[in-house]
Structure 1
């Protein structure tokens, strides 16, 4: 479908729905949410991607939770402290019950921390958060100590990513047992009621939840990845709220007093991974289509040229329609490791062409760039826009986009030369370890380092940052690592997204920097 036809369809949907005025029944005790991305698994340790993590938080708790501003708060642990540089102690919440009525225990914590390493078939493992733990000790029924081989500061942040499951319910379970509900026994605010893959997930309130009862008896999560149907579902009253509001319709929607909005600068940074291996790259050729013996993207001058070719101001204002800010870091402003001294690369196509010539490509080369078309705000348009910028400096650029379900697997296998990724993290050293750290299966480093970038000096600074219990020292090392890696254009940041929710009047939601949509944090006005 052409862009004109898509725009016309969207405008027609919006006009009809606005005419209906968001018709629907009065607010009931059931909540219906329109989600923008598919949930591929309900196993909380199987695939570390945001849609799955957000859904797991409804059924499970972690030892440490994260509030709307990205700050750590108590979860199943009421407190934590560093006993020494290699030992962390967590005090467990007492009186917590799993959905089946059994007691939450220290044994469940140990089992849950061990389980990610046991899932050897995971396409996106959680082991980066558990590999550093070399010892686990139950001090008493309500105290657990975790030890590391070397000093390690961000233990609490690590365990905030590991959901606690019932050892009894899960010990012999498969991932399929979670998807059918058999093993989906947590301590979270909702209990499992049904899962129809690609369509909906249903949950009912856990009346015994330690954090207090949700306002909603039942929640239905509708999977509506396409923007126009998701918007239509809100406006017609089929759902009560949606995430990822289509940018093209936001200003018109805001004029309708039957809806309200919540927005926040997201932790998610959108950036490019570039294949940095020296040999031929799959989607780099000369302009006649002949593969090149050497990979131009291996040269830091070429990577810098690509960055200078991108007009981020225009990208944010036009393609993103104001729902983003240009990025110079891989973490959002205000988070640990954000380096304010790093400036957004200026748009300078003349300098970009000069760098290409210095690198031995005065006439450029041909490149196909890849991205998803159903994951990030205007992702397909972002890829198209960047292709236009690269064409202007002599890089003959083609575009291929595809659904996330296909794209991620190919990208992680290194099948692309230049691939778009969005990543959200609450700390710079975490993001750097995962995205640009030298890949190492034994340590879990570089699990999302699609470009295979490797710099021992960057790795050393990340180790120093992660090993600092002192927060100020940790922040300083993380900033140094970011300066070195991004100065090398290990990845090319584009922008930080705004997260936007729209909902019917009568309900409210506190916008979250992590972009997660949590049913239990919606409430009646």
Structure 2
């Protein structure tokens, strides 16, 4: 997930860290109905999409997941939780059979069955949708024909009966069931139509714990209410209201709002983290947790001078991660020496990124000279504004200037605009990015962010429609991923993922790992119970309840 989830972006898809705040509406809980469930109000920046057809970063994904329920969810420790899937089985990794829970409906009364899943997945992969997240389905038979506009059907999807979904893949993938936890794999009703159906895009009709209240009021607000006809365990809140904040200072607005009593859930500007912890932790209103994610720099591989791996290594060697972690983050972030997170214990390789272990000015200059990164070179450094990144981005930029003598041009943009800029083929330099897992497998990091298929280049425009914005491409890496997916033995599969990570991150320096993902939030535990963050770094909206 950009974004960061998203990915999702963390966003992913992916995704930037969740730009979320919440407000309870005062002590009398104005806005709640007679059931007394409370209205939970959050602040986000303008999402790219809230419809699963293209939901991708944390802002959009938190809403899409509230509106839609997939075959599976994921527990905070990375275990699959059956939702609409009563079972998911495969003997060869190539043909999967999912039995779907009968009797659930969309909020317009349409039945959620196997055809609804086929409809939803086909809609995401269709050419007309131009979805940035369709690559998650690239392994399904017929994907290329559907994505290329040569077919309007997914050859690999069928419904032997109303509640059985059969999925045929081009190649074996023994972790395919984990991928279906992504919001892109949501079912949709018949009224969804094509992916560019603006009415549905702005007011999706889902099958989740919440439903839309009106339509998306762009750059202002999005409102949800509880779905009282939900086929699984119902939400406790009456509703959720998302206030869309100015992306230039979103985290500051959240922090200020929490202190004034307006918000119940807030991020903080980076310099304020220690102060906020000292004040709110004793009151039980401080929340922190490590997540399955990575903060890193996208280095655009196709354009000089970073089309040379030595130039990319020079950037990594020049960064003093420890110093920034101690000074800017006040010890509240941990330097990363691998691309995969420690939570993926079977695949985790501390120190696999040899350029990340310790700043080495001499090696930075040596590799810069070999890679054609000359003193005085203008290096564009992009980041998304309003999410607390300004201070550390400036610190990295200063280190690059001091060590390599390059001229760093900082380019801050609102998140939606930042994602669009990354897609352009002409974009060069560096970009701040982060990723948190969409589903619990190493493949979710390596394939979307580093595989050739993850680029998803549009032949007509040259834009990267996938999440591999660095445009890194190595056939050997792609081959290792294919081998891993087709390996039934989990231990052997992990070893193949390790080899793939070492190739991309150590040998080729496709991207530059920076910090592991530890998240901090302020939460109003005086008013609400059950405020936690889920596997995707989003608040557990369906589990939050008003204190009685």
Kindly name which structure, 1 or 2, has the bigger radius of gyration based on alpha carbons: 1
Distance 1:84 1:402 in 2: 46
1:421 to 433, 439, 453: 433
Deviation at 1:498, TM superposition (A): 1.6
1:347 lines up with 2:347 in the alignment: no
1:406 lines up with 2:417 in the alignment: yes
Match of 1:34 in 2: 42
Report the 3-state secondary structure (helix = DSSP H, G, I; strand = E; otherwise coil) of the residue aligned with 2:212. Answer: strand
8 Å contact from structure 1 (residues 436, 490) kept in 2: yes
Q: Give the 3 Å change call, closer, same or farther, for CA 432–443 of structure 1 in structure 2.
A: farther
1:437 lines up with 2:451 in the alignment: yes
8 Å contact from structure 2 (residues 334, 516) kept in 1: yes
Deviates more, 1:26-35 or 1:136-145: 26-35
2:73 to 58, 65, 77: 65
Match of 1:245 in 2: 268
8 Å contact from structure 2 (residues 211, 225) kept in 1: yes
Match of 2:288 in 1: 263
Match of 2:89 in 1: 81
**TM-score, normalized by length of structure 2?**
0.81
1:305 to 296, 303, 314: 314
Match of 1:357 in 2: 369
Distance 2:104 2:398 in 1: 55
Distance 1:230 1:360 in 2: 43
Q: Give the 3 Å change call, closer, same or farther, for CA 509–420 of structure 1 in structure 2.
A: same
8 Å contact from structure 1 (residues 461, 481) kept in 2: yes
Tell me the alpha carbon deviations over residues 438-466 of structure 1, each in whole angstroms, 9 at most, x when there is no partner.
25649999822223222121111111122
8 Å contact from structure 1 (residues 32, 222) kept in 2: no
8 Å contact from structure 1 (residues 36, 227) kept in 2: no
Match of 2:540 in 1: 518
Count how many residue pairs are aligned between Structure 1 and Structure 2: 482
Distance 2:93 2:202 in 1: 42
Q: Give the 3 Å change call, closer, same or farther, for CA 511–323 of structure 1 in structure 2.
A: farther
Deviation at 1:265, TM superposition (A): 1.3
2:188 to 143, 146, 166: 166
Q: List alignment gaps of at least 5 residues for structure 1.
A: 1-21, 282-294
Deviation at 1:420, TM superposition (A): 1.8
Report the 3-state secondary structure (helix = DSSP H, G, I; strand = E; otherwise coil) of the residue aligned with 2:471. Answer: coil
Tell me the alpha carbon deviations over residues 172-221 of structure 1, each in whole angstroms, 9 at most, x when there is no partner.
6744212443xx22110011103222222111111122221211112212
RMSD of aligned alpha carbons: 2.6
1:209 lines up with 2:230 in the alignment: yes
8 Å contact from structure 1 (residues 356, 364) kept in 2: no
Deviation at 1:313, TM superposition (A): 0.9
Q: Give the 3 Å change call, closer, same or farther, for CA 175–325 of structure 1 in structure 2.
A: farther
1:478 lines up with 2:497 in the alignment: yes
Distance 1:457 1:139 in 2: 38
8 Å contact from structure 1 (residues 47, 126) kept in 2: yes
Deviates more, 1:164-173 or 1:82-91: 164-173
**TM-score, normalized by length of structure 1?**
0.85
Match of 1:17 in 2: none
- Greater fraction strand: 1
8 Å contact from structure 1 (residues 436, 446) kept in 2: no
8 Å contact from structure 1 (residues 54, 518) kept in 2: no
Q: List alignment gaps of at least 5 residues for structure 2.
A: 1-23, 30-35, 142-155
8 Å contact from structure 2 (residues 336, 516) kept in 1: yes
